[in-house]
Amino acid sequence: MPVDLSYTDGPYLRDILDQPRALERTLLGLKLSEGLHRVARRLQEGKFKIIVLTGMGSSFHALHPLNIQLIQHGLTAIMVETSELLYYQSHLFDSETLIVAVSQSGQSVEVVRLLEMNAGKSSIIAITNTADSALAKGADAAVVTQAGEEFSVSCKTYVTALMALRWLGEVFCGRDIRHIQQQLECACPTVRDYLAQWREHAENLAQILAGTSHLFLIGRGASLAAVWTGALIIKESNRFYAEGMSSAAFRHGPLEMLSDKTFVLVFAGDKKTRELNHRLLADIRETEGRATIVGEDAASPSCSVPSTPPSIGPIVEILPAQMATLALAALTGREPGRFVLASKVTKKE
């Protein structure tokens, strides 16, 4: 059936297409400041017992690959939503805790309260898109992304945060950052090449998702960042309900949701669990469920992401979910990414 993409034309689409430039600018701006070097040295000397990774929304989800990286390196790291940290885990504010706080605005209500409650007890590393924000000024060191102004739904601020966090992980682990910077350079042309065909991708996904009432995004490992963020941006962009969860969790109940109105995007992800994800895809199809794989071996070009180093996999994986927001806009006849009830910066708890 014909797909009308005229509804997608707007500032949200322009933000999506601006992602390659945002990534390039962010990569150029990644510098090891004196403050960051000092905190990283203390971490490597064992001065911190725990690293708390915190944020809200997509900023929180972007921390998942870093969490895995730090744990695999032998460090103790946990992810806690900033609101939960404030009200239920504030005992973690002490000199032996290192906090990595991610906020694109650096001035959301939870982040401002975090700075007030912490009051210098824990060292804070900020990842933010706003250099003069409360978070950037109140942190021991700030890594500032260069996404530029963003209209509403996080897209370029999300991918640039992923880039900055991967770089930060290498700094924390004491590795030669020149190597990771070479890998991260590959993200820019890879994202640009995919987005060059955005119309075809959106049209293809509109055909795939037609007739869908329930949308699931599932995966494992670092792919959970794209799974959780993808579901979030679909709700934000299209007011269309989507749920992100691990592939394992999908077998524990939600499998019962399969019908001709349900569609499942299965993220192939890392080699360690790729076979498990393909097996789940096969099981879904065996029950006549509707599903497709997102990965290098995807049958659909819109869901095909090239093989990349694990360091940039999460950046590339979010692209099909972004295209799904454009496809759903075409199907519902509504401009994507234009908030009615929400706001870009959350100022009320």
307 and 198, same domain (yes or no): yes
Task: Quickly count: other Cβ atoms within 10 Å of residue 25's Cβ.
Answer: 16
Beta bridge partners of 170: none
- Residue at which a domain ends, from 133, 168, 185: 185
CA distance 52 to 327: 37
- Mean pLDDT to the nearest integer, 289-302: 95
Residue 292 has pLDDT above 70, yes or no: yes
Instruction: Give yes or no: residues 139 and 239 share one domain.
Output: no
Question: Is there a single domain that holds both residue 227 and residue 215?
Answer: yes
- Residue 240 gets which letter from DSSP? -
Q: Which two tokens stand for residue 56?
A: 């809200």
> Which domain-ending residue is among 164, 185, 206?
185
> pLDDT tier at 1 (50, 70, 90 boundaries)?
low
User: Six-digit token pair at 48?
Assistant: 């911190």
Q: Residue 151 above 90 pLDDT?
A: yes
Same domain, 138 and 234: no
Clarify whether residues 206 and 315 are in a common domain: yes
By residue range, what is the domain housing residue 284? Answer: 189-332
The model's pTM is 0.97
DSSP class of residue 77 equals: E
* 22 lies in some domain: no
pLDDT in tens, 28-58: 999 999 999 999 999 999 999 999 999 999 9
Taking CA atoms, 68 is separated from 64, 185, 280, 320, in Å, by: 6, 22, 23, 23
Q: Are 21 and 342 in contact (CB under 8 A)?
A: no
CATH code of the domain in which 121 resides: 3.40.50.10490
Do 118 and 235 lie in one domain? The reply is no
Q: Are residues 134 and 193 in the same domain?
A: no
pLDDT (tens digit per residue) in 94-136: 999 999 999 999 999 999 999 999 999 999 999 999 999 999 9
pLDDT of residue 144: 98
pLDDT above 70: percentage of residues in the chain: 100
Number of domains making up the chain: 2
Tens of pLDDT along 223-270? 999 999 999 999 999 999 999 999 999 999 999 999 999 999 999 999
Query: Would 16 be classed as within a structural domain?
Result: no
Tell which of 132, 167, 185 closes a domain.
185
Are both 179 and 244 inside the same structural domain?
no
Residues 112 and 228 in one domain: no
pLDDT score of 54? 98
User: In this predicted model, what pLDDT tens digit does every residue of 190-227 receive, in sequence order?
Assistant: 999 999 999 999 999 999 999 999 999 999 999 999 99
Share of the chain above pLDDT 90, in %: 96
**Are residues 56 and 159 part of one domain?**
yes
